[in-house]
Copies of this chain bind each other. A is one copy, B any other.
Amino acid sequence: MASSVNTSPNHPYIPSTDSERREMLGVIGVNSLDDLLGDIPIEYRHPRLSLAAGLSEQELSSVFSSFAAENASSATGYISFLGAGAYSHYIPSTVRSILQRGEFVTAYTPYQPEAAQGTLQVGFEFQTIICQLTGMEVANAGMYDGPTAFAEACLMAARVTKRTRIGVLASADRRLPETLDAYSKHQGIEIVELSPDVTEIPDDLACIGIQSPNFFGAIEDVERLTKLAHDSGALSVVHVNPTALGLFRPPGDFDVDIVTAEGQPLGVPMAFGGPYVGLFACKKSHIRQMPGRIIGRTTDTQGRIGYALTLQTREQHIRRERATSNICTSTQLIGLMVAVYVATLGKQGMKDLASLCYQKAHYAASEINRLEGFSVETNGTFFHEFVVRCPASPQSVNAALLERKIIGGLDISDRAEKSMLICVTETSSKADIDRLVAALGEIGDRS
Protein backbone atom coordinates (compact mmCIF):
# COMPACT_ATOMS: atom_id res chain seq x y z
CA MET A 1 0.00 0.00 0.00
CA ALA A 2 1.99 2.88 -1.26
CA SER A 3 -0.12 5.58 0.29
CA SER A 4 -0.09 4.10 3.72
CA VAL A 5 3.00 5.72 5.09
CA ASN A 6 3.42 9.32 4.20
CA THR A 7 6.69 9.55 2.34
CA SER A 8 7.01 13.29 2.18
CA PRO A 9 10.38 14.65 3.26
CA ASN A 10 10.87 14.94 6.96
CA HIS A 11 9.27 17.85 8.72
CA PRO A 12 11.22 19.78 11.36
CA TYR A 13 8.63 18.79 13.96
CA ILE A 14 8.72 15.08 13.12
CA PRO A 15 12.03 13.29 13.51
CA SER A 16 11.26 9.78 12.27
CA THR A 17 12.65 9.06 8.86
CA ASP A 18 11.24 6.69 6.29
CA SER A 19 13.68 3.98 7.10
CA GLU A 20 13.01 4.31 10.83
CA ARG A 21 9.30 4.12 10.19
CA ARG A 22 9.81 0.97 8.17
CA GLU A 23 11.95 -0.49 10.89
CA MET A 24 9.36 0.27 13.54
CA LEU A 25 6.54 -1.15 11.45
CA GLY A 26 8.64 -4.26 11.10
CA VAL A 27 9.03 -4.56 14.85
CA ILE A 28 5.31 -4.03 15.28
CA GLY A 29 4.86 -6.78 12.76
CA VAL A 30 2.89 -5.00 10.08
CA ASN A 31 3.68 -3.88 6.60
CA SER A 32 2.07 -0.53 6.57
CA LEU A 33 0.43 2.06 8.68
CA ASP A 34 -2.93 1.02 7.35
CA ASP A 35 -2.53 -2.31 9.06
CA LEU A 36 -2.74 -0.38 12.32
CA LEU A 37 -5.87 1.47 11.33
CA GLY A 38 -8.12 -1.54 11.02
CA ASP A 39 -10.58 -0.15 13.54
CA ILE A 40 -11.29 2.92 11.46
CA PRO A 41 -14.16 2.27 9.03
CA ILE A 42 -12.40 1.85 5.73
CA GLU A 43 -14.83 3.96 3.77
CA TYR A 44 -13.97 6.97 5.89
CA ARG A 45 -10.26 6.40 6.16
CA HIS A 46 -7.92 8.88 4.47
CA PRO A 47 -10.59 11.46 3.64
CA ARG A 48 -9.84 14.33 1.34
CA LEU A 49 -8.96 17.41 3.30
CA SER A 50 -8.86 20.84 1.88
CA LEU A 51 -5.88 22.24 3.74
CA ALA A 52 -2.95 24.14 2.33
CA ALA A 53 0.56 22.76 2.09
CA GLY A 54 3.00 23.41 4.91
CA LEU A 55 5.03 26.59 5.13
CA SER A 56 8.61 27.17 6.05
CA GLU A 57 9.23 29.21 9.18
CA GLN A 58 10.23 32.21 7.12
CA GLU A 59 7.00 32.08 5.14
CA LEU A 60 4.98 31.55 8.29
CA SER A 61 6.52 34.66 9.77
CA SER A 62 5.36 36.70 6.80
CA VAL A 63 1.82 35.36 7.15
CA PHE A 64 1.73 36.42 10.75
CA SER A 65 3.32 39.77 10.09
CA SER A 66 0.37 40.50 7.84
CA PHE A 67 -2.12 39.49 10.51
CA ALA A 68 -0.37 41.76 12.98
CA ALA A 69 -0.11 44.63 10.53
CA GLU A 70 -3.88 44.61 10.00
CA ASN A 71 -4.52 45.44 13.63
CA ALA A 72 -4.38 48.88 15.20
CA SER A 73 -2.13 48.86 18.25
CA SER A 74 0.60 50.86 19.87
CA ALA A 75 2.85 49.13 17.34
CA THR A 76 1.02 50.90 14.55
CA GLY A 77 0.90 54.25 16.33
CA TYR A 78 -2.48 54.11 18.02
CA ILE A 79 -3.29 55.14 21.55
CA SER A 80 -6.22 53.54 23.28
CA PHE A 81 -8.55 54.29 26.18
CA LEU A 82 -10.31 50.96 26.43
CA GLY A 83 -10.63 49.13 29.71
CA ALA A 84 -13.82 47.41 30.83
CA GLY A 85 -12.19 44.23 31.96
CA ALA A 86 -8.89 44.18 30.08
CA TYR A 87 -6.26 46.79 30.87
CA SER A 88 -3.13 48.11 29.30
CA HIS A 89 -0.31 48.04 31.82
CA TYR A 90 3.42 48.15 31.42
CA ILE A 91 4.78 44.63 31.73
CA PRO A 92 8.26 44.49 33.27
CA SER A 93 11.05 42.74 31.40
CA THR A 94 11.41 40.24 34.24
CA VAL A 95 8.01 38.82 33.36
CA ARG A 96 8.87 38.25 29.72
CA SER A 97 12.28 36.92 30.62
CA ILE A 98 10.99 34.27 33.01
CA LEU A 99 8.13 33.47 30.67
CA GLN A 100 10.67 32.36 28.11
CA ARG A 101 11.94 29.56 30.28
CA GLY A 102 11.01 26.37 28.52
CA GLU A 103 11.06 24.45 31.78
CA PHE A 104 8.02 26.43 32.86
CA VAL A 105 6.41 26.82 29.46
CA THR A 106 6.59 23.23 28.27
CA ALA A 107 5.79 21.37 31.48
CA TYR A 108 2.28 20.20 32.30
CA THR A 109 0.15 19.90 35.41
CA PRO A 110 2.46 18.79 38.23
CA TYR A 111 1.20 15.25 38.60
CA GLN A 112 4.71 14.11 39.50
CA PRO A 113 5.61 16.62 42.17
CA GLU A 114 9.21 15.46 42.43
CA ALA A 115 9.69 16.55 38.83
CA ALA A 116 7.68 19.74 39.09
CA GLN A 117 8.86 21.61 42.16
CA GLY A 118 9.37 24.68 40.01
CA THR A 119 5.79 24.89 38.84
CA LEU A 120 4.55 23.96 42.29
CA GLN A 121 6.57 26.46 44.27
CA VAL A 122 5.55 29.19 41.83
CA GLY A 123 1.92 28.17 42.31
CA PHE A 124 2.37 28.41 46.06
CA GLU A 125 3.84 31.89 45.61
CA PHE A 126 0.88 32.78 43.44
CA GLN A 127 -1.59 31.62 46.08
CA THR A 128 0.31 33.64 48.67
CA ILE A 129 0.30 36.75 46.54
CA ILE A 130 -3.43 36.50 45.88
CA CYS A 131 -4.07 36.13 49.60
CA GLN A 132 -1.85 39.09 50.44
CA LEU A 133 -3.45 41.29 47.81
CA THR A 134 -7.04 40.41 48.63
CA GLY A 135 -6.58 40.03 52.36
CA MET A 136 -8.14 36.58 52.17
CA GLU A 137 -7.10 33.40 53.94
CA VAL A 138 -6.73 30.99 51.04
CA ALA A 139 -6.54 31.12 47.29
CA ASN A 140 -6.40 28.55 44.57
CA ALA A 141 -3.80 28.34 41.82
CA GLY A 142 -5.95 30.11 39.25
CA MET A 143 -9.11 29.80 37.16
CA TYR A 144 -9.66 30.31 33.43
CA ASP A 145 -10.38 34.03 33.69
CA GLY A 146 -12.18 36.63 35.76
CA PRO A 147 -15.76 36.00 34.66
CA THR A 148 -15.52 32.22 34.99
CA ALA A 149 -13.94 32.67 38.40
CA PHE A 150 -16.88 34.86 39.38
CA ALA A 151 -19.36 32.33 38.01
CA GLU A 152 -17.71 29.47 39.86
CA ALA A 153 -17.63 31.58 43.02
CA CYS A 154 -21.38 32.07 42.83
CA LEU A 155 -21.90 28.36 42.22
CA MET A 156 -19.67 27.67 45.19
CA ALA A 157 -21.78 30.03 47.29
CA ALA A 158 -24.82 28.04 46.22
CA ARG A 159 -23.11 24.82 47.35
CA VAL A 160 -22.02 26.33 50.65
CA THR A 161 -25.39 27.86 51.47
CA LYS A 162 -27.39 25.16 49.71
CA ARG A 163 -29.45 27.96 48.14
CA THR A 164 -30.19 28.46 44.48
CA ARG A 165 -30.79 32.18 43.95
CA ILE A 166 -27.84 34.41 43.26
CA GLY A 167 -27.93 38.17 43.50
CA VAL A 168 -25.67 40.21 41.26
CA LEU A 169 -25.37 43.98 41.48
CA ALA A 170 -26.68 45.87 38.49
CA SER A 171 -23.47 47.88 38.42
CA ALA A 172 -21.41 44.86 37.48
CA ASP A 173 -19.97 44.20 34.08
CA ARG A 174 -22.67 42.25 32.22
CA ARG A 175 -20.15 39.65 31.26
CA LEU A 176 -20.24 38.50 34.88
CA PRO A 177 -23.92 37.58 35.12
CA GLU A 178 -23.85 36.37 31.52
CA THR A 179 -21.05 33.93 32.20
CA LEU A 180 -22.71 32.94 35.43
CA ASP A 181 -25.86 32.27 33.47
CA ALA A 182 -24.04 30.01 31.02
CA TYR A 183 -22.41 28.23 33.96
CA SER A 184 -25.58 27.74 35.95
CA LYS A 185 -28.48 27.60 33.55
CA HIS A 186 -29.05 23.88 33.86
CA GLN A 187 -28.43 23.68 37.57
CA GLY A 188 -31.67 25.26 38.67
CA ILE A 189 -29.97 28.48 39.63
CA GLU A 190 -31.76 31.79 39.32
CA ILE A 191 -29.94 35.08 38.94
CA VAL A 192 -31.44 38.15 40.57
CA GLU A 193 -30.31 41.65 39.72
CA LEU A 194 -29.79 43.91 42.72
CA SER A 195 -29.37 47.66 42.85
CA PRO A 196 -26.06 48.75 44.36
CA ASP A 197 -28.14 50.80 46.78
CA VAL A 198 -30.17 47.82 47.88
CA THR A 199 -30.88 47.84 51.60
CA GLU A 200 -32.91 44.72 51.81
CA ILE A 201 -32.43 41.47 50.00
CA PRO A 202 -34.51 38.34 49.62
CA ASP A 203 -33.70 35.92 52.42
CA ASP A 204 -32.97 32.99 50.15
CA LEU A 205 -29.99 34.33 48.29
CA ALA A 206 -26.87 32.21 48.13
CA CYS A 207 -24.75 35.30 47.72
CA ILE A 208 -24.55 38.88 46.63
CA GLY A 209 -22.15 39.22 43.73
CA ILE A 210 -20.46 42.60 43.79
CA GLN A 211 -17.99 44.08 41.33
CA SER A 212 -15.83 46.77 42.90
CA PRO A 213 -14.61 48.94 41.32
CA ASN A 214 -17.75 48.32 39.35
CA PHE A 215 -18.18 48.31 35.60
CA PHE A 216 -18.29 52.12 35.62
CA GLY A 217 -15.09 52.39 37.63
CA ALA A 218 -16.71 53.32 40.93
CA ILE A 219 -15.84 51.78 44.27
CA GLU A 220 -18.80 49.97 45.79
CA ASP A 221 -19.59 49.88 49.48
CA VAL A 222 -18.43 46.34 49.93
CA GLU A 223 -18.57 46.52 53.69
CA ARG A 224 -22.23 47.45 53.80
CA LEU A 225 -23.25 44.98 51.13
CA THR A 226 -21.34 42.17 52.79
CA LYS A 227 -23.10 42.85 56.07
CA LEU A 228 -26.39 42.86 54.25
CA ALA A 229 -25.56 39.47 52.72
CA HIS A 230 -24.42 37.97 55.98
CA ASP A 231 -27.52 39.20 57.77
CA SER A 232 -29.60 36.91 55.62
CA GLY A 233 -27.22 34.01 55.60
CA ALA A 234 -25.93 34.76 52.14
CA LEU A 235 -22.30 34.96 51.22
CA SER A 236 -20.56 37.96 49.77
CA VAL A 237 -18.71 37.41 46.51
CA VAL A 238 -16.59 40.34 45.41
CA HIS A 239 -15.00 40.71 42.01
CA VAL A 240 -12.12 43.16 42.24
CA ASN A 241 -9.61 44.88 40.01
CA PRO A 242 -6.31 43.60 41.34
CA THR A 243 -4.41 46.76 40.44
CA ALA A 244 -6.76 48.76 42.65
CA LEU A 245 -5.73 46.56 45.59
CA GLY A 246 -2.44 48.41 45.71
CA LEU A 247 -4.33 51.40 47.04
CA PHE A 248 -7.79 50.45 48.25
CA ARG A 249 -8.82 48.40 51.23
CA PRO A 250 -8.99 44.74 50.31
CA PRO A 251 -12.15 42.63 50.55
CA GLY A 252 -10.53 40.68 53.36
CA ASP A 253 -11.02 43.77 55.52
CA PHE A 254 -14.77 43.50 55.10
CA ASP A 255 -15.36 39.87 55.98
CA VAL A 256 -16.04 39.00 52.35
CA ASP A 257 -16.41 35.26 51.73
CA ILE A 258 -15.13 34.81 48.21
CA VAL A 259 -13.04 37.14 46.10
CA THR A 260 -12.51 36.80 42.40
CA ALA A 261 -10.76 38.92 39.83
CA GLU A 262 -9.48 39.03 36.33
CA GLY A 263 -5.74 38.54 36.75
CA GLN A 264 -4.87 40.08 33.39
CA PRO A 265 -3.89 43.48 34.76
CA LEU A 266 -1.07 41.80 36.70
CA GLY A 267 1.45 41.44 33.92
CA VAL A 268 -0.58 39.65 31.27
CA PRO A 269 -0.77 40.99 27.70
CA MET A 270 -4.24 42.04 26.55
CA ALA A 271 -3.86 39.71 23.56
CA PHE A 272 -7.34 40.31 22.19
CA GLY A 273 -8.88 38.79 25.26
CA GLY A 274 -6.84 35.84 26.34
CA PRO A 275 -5.47 33.72 27.76
CA TYR A 276 -5.90 35.39 31.12
CA VAL A 277 -6.16 33.97 34.61
CA GLY A 278 -9.02 34.08 37.09
CA LEU A 279 -8.06 34.90 40.64
CA PHE A 280 -9.99 33.07 43.34
CA ALA A 281 -9.68 33.44 47.09
CA CYS A 282 -11.97 32.61 49.96
CA LYS A 283 -12.25 32.01 53.65
CA LYS A 284 -10.41 28.96 54.87
CA SER A 285 -13.60 27.41 56.17
CA HIS A 286 -14.97 27.07 52.64
CA ILE A 287 -11.89 25.54 51.17
CA ARG A 288 -13.28 22.10 50.45
CA GLN A 289 -15.93 23.69 48.26
CA MET A 290 -13.37 25.66 46.28
CA PRO A 291 -12.97 24.84 42.60
CA GLY A 292 -9.63 24.62 40.85
CA ARG A 293 -6.15 23.38 41.57
CA ILE A 294 -4.65 23.98 44.99
CA ILE A 295 -1.02 23.58 45.88
CA GLY A 296 0.03 22.65 49.36
CA ARG A 297 3.25 22.48 51.27
CA THR A 298 4.45 19.20 52.67
CA THR A 299 7.63 17.24 53.34
CA ASP A 300 9.43 14.41 51.61
CA THR A 301 10.63 11.13 53.06
CA GLN A 302 13.75 12.91 54.28
CA GLY A 303 11.77 15.68 55.93
CA ARG A 304 12.62 18.28 53.33
CA ILE A 305 10.09 20.86 52.26
CA GLY A 306 8.25 20.19 49.04
CA TYR A 307 5.07 21.23 47.30
CA ALA A 308 2.32 19.15 45.75
CA LEU A 309 -1.19 19.41 44.42
CA THR A 310 -3.53 18.92 47.31
CA LEU A 311 -7.21 18.58 48.22
CA GLN A 312 -7.57 16.78 44.93
CA THR A 313 -10.64 14.93 46.09
CA ARG A 314 -12.60 18.05 45.14
CA GLU A 315 -11.51 17.64 41.55
CA GLN A 316 -12.94 15.99 38.48
CA HIS A 317 -10.20 13.44 38.01
CA ILE A 318 -11.14 11.92 41.36
CA ARG A 319 -14.66 13.03 42.16
CA ARG A 320 -15.90 12.97 38.55
CA GLU A 321 -19.56 14.03 38.34
CA ARG A 322 -19.50 15.18 41.96
CA ALA A 323 -16.47 17.42 41.57
CA THR A 324 -16.56 21.07 42.68
CA SER A 325 -15.87 22.08 39.08
CA ASN A 326 -15.02 20.48 35.76
CA ILE A 327 -11.84 22.55 35.45
CA CYS A 328 -8.74 20.55 34.56
CA THR A 329 -6.19 22.37 32.41
CA SER A 330 -6.15 25.78 33.96
CA THR A 331 -3.82 28.75 33.70
CA GLN A 332 -0.65 27.90 35.56
CA LEU A 333 1.60 29.78 33.16
CA ILE A 334 -0.45 32.94 33.40
CA GLY A 335 -0.23 32.47 37.15
CA LEU A 336 3.52 32.50 36.74
CA MET A 337 3.28 35.80 34.90
CA VAL A 338 1.23 37.20 37.76
CA ALA A 339 3.68 35.88 40.34
CA VAL A 340 6.68 37.38 38.56
CA TYR A 341 4.81 40.63 37.97
CA VAL A 342 3.80 41.10 41.57
CA ALA A 343 7.20 39.96 42.86
CA THR A 344 8.78 42.52 40.57
CA LEU A 345 6.57 45.43 41.48
CA GLY A 346 6.60 44.34 45.10
CA LYS A 347 5.13 46.15 48.02
CA GLN A 348 6.12 49.64 46.95
CA GLY A 349 5.53 49.14 43.27
CA MET A 350 1.98 47.88 43.62
CA LYS A 351 1.17 50.88 45.76
CA ASP A 352 2.89 53.36 43.48
CA LEU A 353 1.28 51.88 40.41
CA ALA A 354 -2.23 52.08 41.83
CA SER A 355 -1.62 55.69 42.82
CA LEU A 356 -0.24 56.55 39.43
CA CYS A 357 -3.22 55.01 37.65
CA TYR A 358 -5.51 56.85 40.00
CA GLN A 359 -3.77 60.14 39.31
CA LYS A 360 -3.87 59.70 35.58
CA ALA A 361 -7.50 58.65 35.37
CA HIS A 362 -8.59 61.51 37.59
CA TYR A 363 -6.55 63.99 35.63
CA ALA A 364 -8.12 62.76 32.41
CA ALA A 365 -11.59 62.87 33.93
CA SER A 366 -11.19 66.39 35.19
CA GLU A 367 -9.85 67.62 31.86
CA ILE A 368 -12.66 65.96 29.93
CA ASN A 369 -15.25 67.22 32.37
CA ARG A 370 -14.18 70.76 31.52
CA LEU A 371 -14.96 70.29 27.85
CA GLU A 372 -18.09 71.84 26.51
CA GLY A 373 -20.67 69.12 25.97
CA PHE A 374 -18.86 66.34 27.79
CA SER A 375 -19.51 65.37 31.37
CA VAL A 376 -18.04 62.76 33.65
CA GLU A 377 -20.86 60.74 35.10
CA THR A 378 -19.17 58.32 37.46
CA ASN A 379 -19.86 59.56 40.94
CA GLY A 380 -17.60 59.31 43.91
CA THR A 381 -14.34 57.50 43.94
CA PHE A 382 -13.36 55.74 40.80
CA PHE A 383 -10.39 53.80 39.64
CA HIS A 384 -9.00 53.33 36.15
CA GLU A 385 -12.22 54.17 34.32
CA PHE A 386 -15.10 56.55 34.31
CA VAL A 387 -18.23 57.26 32.33
CA VAL A 388 -18.28 60.21 29.97
CA ARG A 389 -21.47 61.50 28.53
CA CYS A 390 -20.87 62.80 25.03
CA PRO A 391 -22.55 65.55 23.06
CA ALA A 392 -23.08 63.12 20.18
CA SER A 393 -23.39 59.38 19.92
CA PRO A 394 -20.35 57.64 21.35
CA GLN A 395 -20.15 55.77 18.07
CA SER A 396 -19.66 58.95 16.07
CA VAL A 397 -17.25 60.36 18.62
CA ASN A 398 -15.21 57.17 18.50
CA ALA A 399 -15.21 57.19 14.71
CA ALA A 400 -13.83 60.73 14.76
CA LEU A 401 -11.22 59.72 17.34
CA LEU A 402 -10.19 56.75 15.25
CA GLU A 403 -9.39 59.05 12.35
CA ARG A 404 -6.91 60.64 14.74
CA LYS A 405 -5.43 57.25 15.61
CA ILE A 406 -7.14 57.30 18.98
CA ILE A 407 -9.17 54.32 20.11
CA GLY A 408 -11.74 55.96 22.35
CA GLY A 409 -13.66 54.65 25.31
CA LEU A 410 -16.07 51.76 25.17
CA ASP A 411 -19.45 52.73 23.81
CA ILE A 412 -21.88 51.95 26.65
CA SER A 413 -24.90 53.74 25.27
CA ASP A 414 -26.82 50.53 25.92
CA ARG A 415 -26.24 51.10 29.64
CA ALA A 416 -26.02 54.88 29.92
CA GLU A 417 -27.30 57.38 27.43
CA LYS A 418 -24.75 58.75 24.98
CA SER A 419 -21.97 57.47 27.20
CA MET A 420 -18.62 55.92 26.83
CA LEU A 421 -16.39 54.29 29.41
CA ILE A 422 -12.93 55.79 29.30
CA CYS A 423 -10.01 54.04 30.91
CA VAL A 424 -6.63 55.56 31.70
CA THR A 425 -3.68 53.66 33.11
CA GLU A 426 0.00 54.37 33.57
CA THR A 427 0.65 53.50 29.93
CA SER A 428 -1.06 56.70 28.85
CA SER A 429 1.33 59.60 29.12
CA LYS A 430 0.08 63.06 29.93
CA ALA A 431 0.69 63.84 26.27
CA ASP A 432 -1.59 60.96 25.27
CA ILE A 433 -4.30 62.16 27.62
CA ASP A 434 -3.98 65.71 26.38
CA ARG A 435 -4.19 64.44 22.84
CA LEU A 436 -7.45 62.67 23.68
CA VAL A 437 -8.83 65.73 25.42
CA ALA A 438 -7.90 68.00 22.55
CA ALA A 439 -9.47 65.62 20.06
CA LEU A 440 -12.66 65.35 22.10
CA GLY A 441 -12.73 69.15 22.29
CA GLU A 442 -12.52 69.44 18.52
CA ILE A 443 -15.10 66.74 17.98
CA GLY A 444 -17.40 68.33 20.55
CA ASP A 445 -17.14 71.70 18.91
CA ARG A 446 -18.17 70.25 15.60
CA SER A 447 -21.21 68.44 16.94
Contact = CB atoms under 8 A, between A and B. Distances in A.
Interface in A35-74: 57-58, 61
Contacts of A426: 58
A254 interface: no
Contact of A90 (B57, B92, B97, B102): B57
Contacts of A97: 100, 102
Interface string A362-406: 000000000000000000000000000000000000000000000
Contact of A100 (B90, B100, B427): B100
Nearest to A98: B102
A93 B57 contact: yes
Interface in A208-261: none
Counting chain B CB atoms within 10 Å of each CB, the highest count among A58, A93, A426 belongs to A58
A427 B61 CA distance: 12
Contacts of A58: 90, 426-427
Contacts of A61: 90
10 contacts: A57-B90, A57-B92, A57-B93, A58-B90, A58-B426, A58-B427, A61-B90, A97-B100, A97-B102, A100-B100
Nearest to A74: B65
Q: Size band of the A side of the interface?
A: 10 to 19
A425 to B, nearest CB: 11
A421 B263 CA distance: 54
A159 to B, nearest CB: 43
Nearest to A92: B57
A90 B57 CA distance: 9
A91 to B, nearest CB: 10
Counting chain B CB atoms within 10 Å of each CB, the highest count among A57, A93, A426 belongs to A57
Interface of A: 57-58, 61, 90, 92-93, 97, 100, 102, 426-427
Nearest to A99: B100
A102 B58 CA distance: 26
A61 to B, nearest CB: 8
A158 B64 CA distance: 52
A63 to B, nearest CB: 13
Q: Which 6 A-B pairs have the closest CB atoms?
A: A58-B90, A100-B100, A57-B92, A57-B93, A58-B426, A97-B100
A243 to B, nearest CB: 15
Contacts of A57: 90, 92-93
A102 B96 CA distance: 13
Nearest to A349: B12
Contacts of A102: 97
Nearest to A93: B57
A68 to B, nearest CB: 12
Contacts of A90: 57-58, 61
A102 B61 CA distance: 25
A383 to B, nearest CB: 20
A181 B426 CA distance: 54
A148 to B, nearest CB: 31
A58 B90 CA distance: 7
Given A57-B92, A57-B93, A58-B426, 7 more contacts: A57-B90, A58-B90, A58-B427, A61-B90, A97-B100, A97-B102, A100-B100
A34 to B, nearest CB: 29
A97 B426 CA distance: 30
A58 B356 CA distance: 13
A400 B66 CA distance: 27
A431 B61 CA distance: 16
Contacts of A92: 57
A350 to B, nearest CB: 14
A197 B66 CA distance: 49
A96 to B, nearest CB: 9
A351 to B, nearest CB: 13
A61 B90 CA distance: 10
A92 B427 CA distance: 32
A426 B61 CA distance: 14
A390 B354 CA distance: 61
Nearest to A58: B90
Nearest to A62: B429
A66 to B, nearest CB: 13
